[in-house]
Structure 1
Amino acid sequence: MKLILAEKPSVAKTIASFLGAKTRHDGYFEGNGYIVTYAVGHLVGLYDMKDYDKDKYSGSWKLSNFPFIPQDKFKFKVDSSKKKQFDIVKKLLHRDDIEYVINATDNDREGELISFLIFLLAKNKKPVKRILVNEWTPEDITRGINNLKDDIDMRNLQAAGYTRLITDWLIGINFTSVATLKYGNGKLLNIGRVILPTVKLVYDRDMEILNFVPKTYYEIEGNFKSKNGEYKGKYIKEKESKFDNIEEVNKVINSINSNEGKIIDKKVTNSKEYAPKLFSLTSLQGYITSKYSNFTSDKVLNVCQSLYEGSGKGGYITYPRTDSIYLEESLASKVSQTLDKLKVGLEYENKIKFTKTKRVFDSSKVDSHSAIIPTYIIPTKLTPDEQIVYNAIKDRFISNFMPPAEYENTEIKTDVDSNIFL
């Protein structure tokens, strides 16, 4: 038997369904030579301070007890609310009929950390292999199973996740405690790797708004009528169009006596506007929340997670927790197939053509996961919120394989009594 560890129950169900592990047990699926079980996010976490010394750290904080750094080594414990699932996974890991384990947690350092700590606390002795896929369609699962990596190839990613976990703990515990004791005045001051710079960004922007001094300025606009149509021009002097006071404005206006102008320069240029880049999670959240007032960033993520997990037969979008706006070059064939399926029946179908360009495919700019795109599985029953997010992802994806918009820009300079209007 081969034991597969997924990160979430929904992913485990998708994998088990495809592999034919159809017998459901408490906490896992079994059948056809596979056992598929799952974590529920982080089953294992670091000790709290009080877990190291209950008498010393359970009561009020004392400045003399900080900084706190474990003297021997960092210790881990099973999340009390998830102990049942951990015990199930541990028991499966020690079954005699398990040949090896396939790690199918998310393909990033957080996923590696989740599985690494489970294997550590469960004292796993079985060989571990890694399935590296970004989504859980049947084709991806097949490709991943046929190209398993050895666990040793994942050591750097595991170390990155472990190091970040330890660093976050040390910074969060010590800085939060000391800042609260010295400056909190009875209130908890949370300090951490994420919260501190985020609050600083909000604070800086708030100060800019608070200290902003509005300033009135004036511009002069001319309305022109020619044989071929009407147009407007803005008075310019050495590329500047703004005046600080009304006296200067009136001085210019009073100097104009003629009711006719002369076009002294006309430039016509053509420009192209390409589709915006594919979505990362952050750019998708920004796009959706700017258009729909009933969405928050968290809601966008939750809807994406629902679309990613799909119907059990596969997800409708690729892995959403990505910071990339490019695709791995190896995905070209799959993207072409997806595009061919999604464009059918669209009124501009003949404008949609697959091309492998650096604007879309660039492996050097992809970290753990590619940009968010639809899969070839077309959803049939979506909630209104899911439909909004799915359509945004689908439309952005399709637009990247369409010709750019083309514009003709005309710039006219008109002279009226030696005054130039642009």
Structure 2
Amino acid sequence: MRLIIAEKPSLARAIADALPGNSKREDGAITVGDSLVTWCLGHLLEQASPDAYDPAYKQWRLDHLPIIPQQWRLTPRPKARGQLAVIRRLLKRATNVVHAGDPDREGQLLVQEVIHYLGWKGPVSRLLVSDLNRPAVVKALAHLDDNARYQPLYRAAEARSRADWLYGINLSRAWTLVGRQAGHDGVLSVGRVQTPVLGLVVRRDAEIAAFQPRPFHVLWADLAVEHGQLRAWWQPGEHHPLDDLGRLLERAPAEVLASRLPGAEGRLARLETQQKRQAAPLPYSLSALQVDAARRYKLSAKMVLDACQSLYERHKLITYPRSDCRHLPEAHFALAQRTLQGACGGDGTLRQWFTGADFTRRSKAWNDRKVGAHHALAPTGTQADMSRLSNTEANVFRLIVRNVLAQFYPTLEFREIKAEFEILGEMFRAQGREILEPGWKPLFTTRDEAPPLPPLREGEPARVIDHGVEDRETRPPEPFTDASLIKAMMNIARYVEDAEVKRTLRDTDGLGTEATRAGIIETLLTRGYLIRQQNALRATRTGHALIQALPEAASRPERTALWEQRLTAIAEQDAVPAPFLDGLVTDLRELLAAADAMRMREAFGNAQGVEAPARTKRQAKGRRSSGPRRSSNGKPAARRRRSNKEPS
């Protein structure tokens, strides 16, 4: 009997539907012919708590740290024992096992750790399903692989799980304990990804708070030329007071020139035209989709992820969504017209876009060399019943289909024009863009382009018909939003100061993964470190204080981004995990040595930021005026122990 273990029930049902023969449901499984299909419910197992290694660790004490397991243990999640018992029972009937976790690092870990935990010693095959439609699953079942090929992926995921435990347990306990010594009541959780993400927001908020606006001034002139009118802007020379961006810092020079402009005549001294072509944006990765959906529809990253999961699992309208790839397999090109015809059939906007597509075109989106474990998000070809989709699901679905359809539209072609006019011995500049071929652009925007400049020729006369001096101010950086924070996590090298590390990180995936970035933001919101103000993400007072109290290395992105690089080396180059974990333990000891109650007390005293709403401030319960009663070794007194909940 073959036992197929899927990552989740929706995948198990899709596999059962693709197997030949009649299916029969039983407790926790589906029988189809000589195969049994069962499932996990996400992670059935988790890293054991510290007190599983030593009961003394149930008390939080600084002198226990760092806690470093010698033999790692897993324990069933509280709600998973029933399904674990089902899989244990089914393994006794199995002659071989098929691992059907999602095709990524966590999917490999999630099922394989269950197989190991339950003691299976027989053969294991690997089933990779990225599309829940029946033809795709049938094809995947016909191409099972040896699970041994995916051990590097498993070792990387296992190393990630253990490293996160070491980092989170030890640093969260340390800063919670010194926080209590400083009078803060509650758990202060520290994580290898969430804390640097919080650091990004805290530092941006600090830049905004410290920003001092500076006035600057601009002078414009409306010019009559041979074939129309245009507006040009004065370009003051270096002998005027300018900032580092060339902006005029004093109004007087602009006023002096403005007084001479009425009726002044000049000529077009320099005309530069450049014809450009721009290919359509590639199909989406999850993070790129989250960025666009946040900008267009004001959706949070989690809302986009949830919509994608529903479109994938429930409606079977899109392929596997948690992908970091923006390319498609070359074999998909031949099927694209039929797939998109099905995908567009249930929506008027999509049908209209489909009729304008030219399926003889082939963009750079189809490239096997750039497709790894996953390919870009794409429609499966199933016709959507839009009445069954929520508004969010429908909007996200249209975005995904649109970006694939755009590959069959012409390239956007336009002409960029820069014109420099000499008037009264001063230079005025006008810029414009003329669309030659709109190509794919109408699929992405309904806004009209700014009117192009009139036809121009170098040397033609120009006359001033109007002018004005405007007073402006420099603006502070924009606060982070879901879109910009996800983009920052994707492109973390921009926020790294060390030139060598910046070069190293430029080609890596950044902070977190496609599957975790939305959850990281939601975790910071839930724990009261961030708050949403309209569309902006701002750090709370607690968030500011935690970042100020931690060593800078714990709140900056370099460490965790390099972690991802090392984990990738384990997954893709079969590197050994031990040096990575040993190096982490060395780092932990240095970080723990910096835990200091006085610094924490000063951080809370100096902390800026908004207060979190009461619904997210579970940590604020209890006494505040004098802090919790505590014993001589720095741990909370006995009556406080109930609040020592490990951060998840």
User: What TM-score, normalized by structure 1, do the two folds share?
Assistant: 0.91
Q: How does 1:143-154 map to 2 (within 5 A)?
A: 143-154=139-150
Residue 209 of structure 1 pairs with residue 200 of structure 2: no
Structure 1: any 5+ residue segments left out of the alignment?
none
Residue 39 of structure 1 pairs with residue 24 of structure 2: no
Letter in 1 for 2:422: D
User: What TM-score, normalized by structure 2, do the two folds share?
Assistant: 0.60
Residue 349 of structure 1 pairs with residue 355 of structure 2: yes
Letter in 1 for 2:248: F
Aligned to 2:248: 243
Letter in 2 for 1:278: P
Aligned to 1:199: 198
Residue 399 of structure 1 pairs with residue 406 of structure 2: yes
- 1:354, 1:132 → 2: CA distance? 30
CA contact (8 A) 1:219 1:243 kept: yes
Instruction: Quote the sequence identity (%).
Output: 28
RMSD over aligned CA atoms reads 2.2
- 1:364, 1:199 → 2: CA distance? 35
- 1:242, 1:175 → 2: CA distance? 47
CA contact (8 A) 1:235 1:420 kept: yes
- 1:5, 1:371 → 2: CA distance? 25
Shift of residue 363, structure 1, vs aligned partner: 4.1
Structure 2: any 5+ residue segments left out of the alignment?
239-244, 346-350, 430-648
Aligned to 2:163: 167
Aligned to 2:107: 111
Deviates more, 1:319-328 or 1:202-211: 319-328
CA contact (8 A) 2:100 2:126 kept: yes
Q: How does 1:88-127 map to 2 (within 5 A)?
A: 88-95=86-93, 98-127=94-123
Structure 1 residues 233 and 397: CA distance shift in structure 2, 3 A: same
Match of 2:272, SS state, is strand
Aligned to 1:309: 313
Aligned to 2:377: 372
- 2:317, 2:344 → 1: CA distance? 15
- 2:279, 2:62 → 1: CA distance? 57
Shift of residue 348, structure 1, vs aligned partner: 6.1
Query: Which of 272, 278, 299 lines up with 2:277 in the alignment?
Result: 272
Q: Stretches of 4+ moved more than 6 A in 1?
A: none
Shift of residue 396, structure 1, vs aligned partner: 1.5
Shift of residue 187, structure 1, vs aligned partner: 3.0
CA contact (8 A) 2:269 2:420 kept: yes
CA contact (8 A) 2:340 2:401 kept: no
Match of 1:218, SS state, is strand
Aligned to 1:9: 9
Letter in 2 for 1:13: R
CA contact (8 A) 2:341 2:354 kept: no
CA contact (8 A) 2:353 2:405 kept: no
Query: Which of 377, 382, 394 lines up with 1:387 in the alignment?
Result: 394
Structure 1 residues 292 and 221: CA distance shift in structure 2, 3 A: same
Shift of residue 342, structure 1, vs aligned partner: 4.5
Aligned to 1:252: 257
Summarize deviations over 1:298-355 as a string: whole Å, max 9, x none: 11111110100134xxx21111112222234454444454245446753563443254
Match of 2:217, SS state, is coil
- 1:387, 1:49 → 2: CA distance? 45
Summarize deviations over 1:229-250 as a string: whole Å, max 9, x none: 1111111245976311111112
- 1:279, 1:67 → 2: CA distance? 42
Shift of residue 267, structure 1, vs aligned partner: 3.0
Letter in 2 for 1:66: L
Shift of residue 368, structure 1, vs aligned partner: 2.9
- 1:108, 1:190 → 2: CA distance? 27
Match of 2:90, SS state, is helix
- 2:266, 2:43 → 1: CA distance? 73
Shift of residue 258, structure 1, vs aligned partner: 4.7
Structure 1 residues 164 and 196: CA distance shift in structure 2, 3 A: same
Structure 1 residues 200 and 84: CA distance shift in structure 2, 3 A: same
- 2:22, 2:110 → 1: CA distance? 23
Residue 187 of structure 1 pairs with residue 186 of structure 2: yes
Aligned to 2:226: 227
Deviates more, 1:363-372 or 1:229-238: 363-372
Summarize deviations over 1:62-87 as a string: whole Å, max 9, x none: 1111111123x011111121111111
Q: How does 1:13-32 map to 2 (within 5 A)?
A: 13-19=13-19, 20=21, 22-32=23-33
Match of 1:106, SS state, is coil
Summarize deviations over 1:208-253 as a string: whole Å, max 9, x none: 1112121111111110123311111111245976311111112222
Query: Which of 42, 58, 82 lines up with 2:80 in the alignment?
Result: 82
- 1:257, 1:340 → 2: CA distance? 60
- 1:88, 1:134 → 2: CA distance? 25
- 2:353, 2:372 → 1: CA distance? 36
Match of 2:151, SS state, is helix
- 1:119, 1:399 → 2: CA distance? 43
- 2:26, 2:224 → 1: CA distance? 81
CA contact (8 A) 2:318 2:377 kept: yes
- 1:94, 1:4 → 2: CA distance? 13
- 2:198, 2:7 → 1: CA distance? 31
